[in-house]
């Protein structure tokens, strides 16, 4: 097999910070870079929801023709239709220059791999209730996609994100879509520590392969190490295909260990499905306790949110009333002393009229009560004989009393009008506004009305306009995630769970694309892996290790002899893991190209 030669690197246009992508997304910072893609934190400038921060994943497509990315775009749109609290929200995808970009939900708590590394660094472990809680959420998410005949193809700790203690499965095989959405493409894009025996043996990839990866993740959550580890790539592959199934430490229950063993069954036909795992007694008990916990959290969050909303509404009303007052006062400041005096006298007249009206209403109610008492004293008893009507006399006697009511009210209204007229006359005659401006200003200053100086209004305006806004009043997606998770758990506990028949059908995701591997993307993956290993080992050491491993694999040397030889070439033999994986990928690519030529 001929060695792959390094081709000159193509100049790629990486987006700078604060640059605009697709006339919508502003890059905030770069979150990371892998062998396949670069990930950025972006701000969505056109969103109408509170979720303004999102993640942009940029996958270079290199020399791919536009028609070679059509099937990837179609299947990416299929992913955008997924709606589950345990699935990372996939918003959209598009082509930008020489890169295939996808926009997903942003999780502030990073991924599960970072969480486990932090626990390992501090010497802590995950408790079994926490492991079971995350496992139940992952099973619900995996069952959701399998029920829709969608495979993930790259389940691993780095592709599971955490947000407010809810795990979300992300990074669906979009890179695999660009590769060609076939089983060989899954081998290229998948991580060897989580790959199933049937995938490594090229016996096909189905929903049970995702369950194998989930079993590896379960072991990693409990032990903080990979379920299958080796000195080199082929050692890991051999251990997965032929080695024994690992067990959990005794600190974890036998039921959890038994469930993991059924997920890591090497025979995919005997391996448990997501639906069967959710039906198990152990998972049902975990779901019930988790449902009760989430339900109490939603009640607490709703009460707190109601209090925040009430306080926000109160502040808004107070601000509105104050703004109206300031607006009226600003109009008053523009008036002359004569106009302000006239305005204040009119306001005083309105206030006196309001008080008189209130007095009239009180008198009317008092007179009405007196009339009711008078009626009750002069009212004749009405016969209860339903066969003869004998109430006419009583009705005729009460009619004159009723006819007096409008007369009394008219007299009261006349008195009110007379009083108001007298009041207006007293305002106009006794307190006439002086014609001289200085006299009017002097009269205005000694009046009993409240002062409305510019200093007071300006000070209040500044204090009110600078009211701090409460960021906690903004809505977030956590409440909806909890409520949605509760609904999915209730469906499982109520027995409304579709069986494993749908999971075993032909996958829908991948059926839109081609059945062969995209050699251009595979070559790009191999090239980037070569560059990464060369940078880590140095070009001279890399070539020595590359030549030795290639010849050693051809001679079928033992793993121990290979390890001893690598110790003489490098300080840490574990650094040669990627070189071994690179050789494996090169052999797969050559075989795929030969099969393409034969066809």
In a domain, 94, yes or no: yes
**What does the pLDDT read at residue 38?**
87
pTM for the model: 0.62
- Looking at the structure, do residues 185 and 94 belong to the same domain, yes or no? no
- E strands, 318-417, are none
Alpha carbon of residue 49 to chain centroid = 10
In a domain, 428, yes or no: no
**What does the pLDDT read at residue 569?**
83
- Comparing C-alpha atoms, which of 367, 397, 404 is closest to residue 381? 397
Distant-in-sequence, close-in-space partners of 18: CB < 8 Å, separation ≥ 6: 26, 27, 28
- Looking at the structure, do residues 140 and 160 belong to the same domain, yes or no? yes
Report whether 206 contacts 268 (CB < 8 A). Answer: yes
**What does the pLDDT read at residue 588?**
74
- Looking at the structure, do residues 189 and 55 belong to the same domain, yes or no? no
In whole angstroms, give the CA distance from residue 422 to residue 590.
Answer: 109
- Looking at the structure, do residues 88 and 229 belong to the same domain, yes or no? no
Q: How far apart are the first and last CA of the chain?
A: 21
- Looking at the structure, do residues 216 and 295 belong to the same domain, yes or no? yes
**Dihedrals phi, psi of 480, to nearest 5 degrees:** -65, -35
- Looking at the structure, do residues 161 and 264 belong to the same domain, yes or no? yes
Q: What is the DSSP letter of 250?
A: T
**What does the pLDDT read at residue 247?**
95
Looking at 514, 547, 573, the residue that finishes a domain is 514
- Looking at the structure, do residues 84 and 221 belong to the same domain, yes or no? no
Q: Give the three-class secondary structure for 26.
A: strand
- Looking at the structure, do residues 90 and 134 belong to the same domain, yes or no? no
For the annotated catalytic residues, the residue numbers are: 154
**What does the pLDDT read at residue 35?**
64
In whole angstroms, give the CA distance from residue 54 to residue 37.
Answer: 16
Helix (H) or strand (E) holding 393: helix 392-425
- Looking at the structure, do residues 531 and 597 belong to the same domain, yes or no? yes
- Looking at the structure, do residues 89 and 145 belong to the same domain, yes or no? no
In whole angstroms, give the CA distance from residue 114 to residue 161.
Answer: 9
The DSSP annotation for 132-172 comes to HHHHHHHHHHHHHHHHTT---S---GGGEEEETTEEEE---
Alpha carbon of residue 279 to chain centroid = 28
In a domain, 551, yes or no: yes
- Comparing C-alpha atoms, which of 169, 133, 147, 155 is closest to residue 212? 155
In whole angstroms, give the CA distance from residue 379 to residue 401.
Answer: 11
Distant-in-sequence, close-in-space partners of 268: CB < 8 Å, separation ≥ 6: 196, 197, 198, 206, 208, 209, 212
In a domain, 190, yes or no: yes
**What does the pLDDT read at residue 314?**
76
**What does the pLDDT read at residue 519?**
64
Cβ neighbourhood burial of 534 (10 Å; 0-12, 13-18, 19+): middle
State the total domains in the chain: 3
CATH number of the domain that 83 lies in? Answer: 3.30.200.20
Alpha carbon of residue 424 to chain centroid = 65
Is the torsion defined by CA of 210, 213, 215, 220 positive or negative? negative
Helices (H) and strands (E) in the chain, counts: 20, 8
**What does the pLDDT read at residue 139?**
96
In a domain, 133, yes or no: yes
In a domain, 596, yes or no: yes
Looking at 60, 81, 106, the residue that finishes a domain is 106
- Looking at the structure, do residues 117 and 258 belong to the same domain, yes or no? yes
Containing domain of residue 528, as a range? 518-599
**Could you identify the residue written with the tokens 């049970």?**
208
In whole angstroms, give the CA distance from residue 515 to residue 182.
Answer: 5
In a domain, 276, yes or no: yes
**What does the pLDDT read at residue 397?**
44
In a domain, 380, yes or no: no
CATH number of the domain that 219 lies in? Answer: 1.10.510.10
Question: 518's torsion region: left (phi>0), alpha (psi -120 to 50) or beta?
Answer: beta
Ranges of the chain with pLDDT below 50 = 1-11, 175-185, 380-413, 416-417, 419-420, 422-430, 444-477, 510-515, 597-599
- Comparing C-alpha atoms, which of 88, 177, 281, 107 is closest to residue 514? 177
For 375-433, the pLDDT digits (tens) are: 766 654 444 444 444 444 444 444 444 444 444 444 444 554 454 454 444 444 445 55
- Looking at the structure, do residues 60 and 177 belong to the same domain, yes or no? no
- Comparing C-alpha atoms, which of 197, 205, 97, 219 is closest to residue 150? 205
User: Residue 386's CB: how many other CB atoms inside 10 A?
Assistant: 6
Looking at 106, 141, 158, the residue that finishes a domain is 106
**What does the pLDDT read at residue 463?**
37
């Amino acid at each position: 097999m001929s060695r792959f030669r390094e081709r000159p690197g193509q100049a790629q246009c990486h987006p700078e910070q604060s640059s605009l992508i697709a006339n919508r997304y502003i890059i905030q910072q770069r979150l990371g870079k892998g062998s396949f893609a670069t990930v950025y934190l972006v701000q969505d400038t056109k969103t109408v929801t509170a979720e303004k921060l999102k993640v942009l994943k940029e996958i270079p497509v290199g020399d791919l023709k536009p028609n070679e990315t059509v099937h990837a775009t179609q299947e990416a749109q299929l992913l955008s239709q997924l709606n589950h609290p345990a699935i990372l929200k996939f918003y959209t995808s598009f082509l930008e220059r020489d890169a295939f970009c996808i926009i997903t939900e942003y999780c502030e708590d990073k991924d599960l791999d970072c969480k486990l590394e932090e626990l390992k660094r501090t010497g802590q472990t995950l408790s079994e209730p926490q492991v079971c809680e995350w496992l139940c959420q992952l099973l619900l998410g995996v069952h959701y996609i399998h029920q829709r005949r969608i495979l993930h193809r790259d389940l691993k700790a780095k592709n599971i994100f955490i947000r407010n203690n809810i795990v979300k499965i992300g990074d669906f095989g979009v890179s695999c879509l660009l590769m060609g959405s076939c089983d060989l493409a899954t081998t290229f894009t998948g991580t060897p520590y989580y790959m199933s025996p049937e995938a490594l043996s090229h016996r096909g990839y189905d929903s049970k392969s995702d369950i194998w990866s989930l079993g590896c993740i379960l072991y990693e959550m409990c032990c903080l190490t990979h379920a299958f580890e080796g000195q080199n790539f082929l050692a890991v592959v051999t251990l997965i295909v032929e080695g024994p199934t690992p067990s959990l430490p005794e600190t974890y229950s036998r039921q959890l260990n038994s469930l993991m063993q059924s997920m890591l069954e090497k025979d995919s036909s005997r391996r448990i499905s997501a639906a069967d795992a959710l039906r198990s007694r152990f998972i049902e008990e975990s779901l019930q306790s988790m449902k009760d916990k989430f339900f109490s959290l939603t009640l607490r969050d709703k009460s707190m949110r109601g209090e925040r909303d009430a306080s926000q509404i109160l502040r808004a009303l107070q601000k509105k009333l104050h703004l109206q007052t300031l607006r009226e006062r600003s109009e008053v400041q523009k008036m002359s002393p004569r106009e302000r005096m006239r305005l204040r006298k009119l306001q005083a007249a309105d206030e006196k009229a309001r008080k008189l009206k209130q007095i009239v209403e009180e008198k009317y109610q008092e007179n009405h009560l007196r009339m009711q008492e008078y009626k009750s004293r002069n009212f004749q008893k009405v016969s209860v004989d339903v066969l003869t009507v004998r109430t006419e006399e009583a009705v005729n006697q009460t009619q004159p009393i009723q006819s007096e009511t409008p007369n009394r009210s008219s007299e009261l209204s006349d008195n009110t009008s007379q009083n108001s007229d007298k009041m207006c006359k007293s305002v106009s005659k006794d307190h006439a506004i002086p014609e001289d401006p200085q006299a009017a200003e002097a009269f205005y200053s000694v009046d009993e009305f409240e002062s409305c100086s510019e200093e007071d209004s300006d000070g209040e305006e500044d204090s009110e306009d600078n009211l701090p806004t409460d960021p906690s009043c903004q809505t977030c997606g956590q409440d909806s995630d909890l409520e949605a998770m509760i609904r999915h758990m209730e469906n499982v506990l109520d027995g409304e769970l579709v069986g494993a028949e749908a999971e075993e059908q032909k996958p829908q995701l991948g059926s839109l694309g081609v059945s062969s591997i995209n050699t251009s993307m595979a070559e790009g993956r191999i090239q980037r892996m070569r560059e990464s290993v060369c940078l880590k080992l140095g070009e001279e050491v890399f070539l020595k290790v590359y030549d030795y491993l290639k010849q050693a694999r051809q001679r079928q040397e033992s793993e121990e002899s290979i390890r001893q030889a690598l110790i003489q070439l490098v300080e840490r033999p574990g650094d040669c893991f990627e070189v071994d994986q690179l050789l494996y990928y090169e052999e797969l690519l050559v075989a795929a190209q030969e099969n393409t030529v034969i066809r």
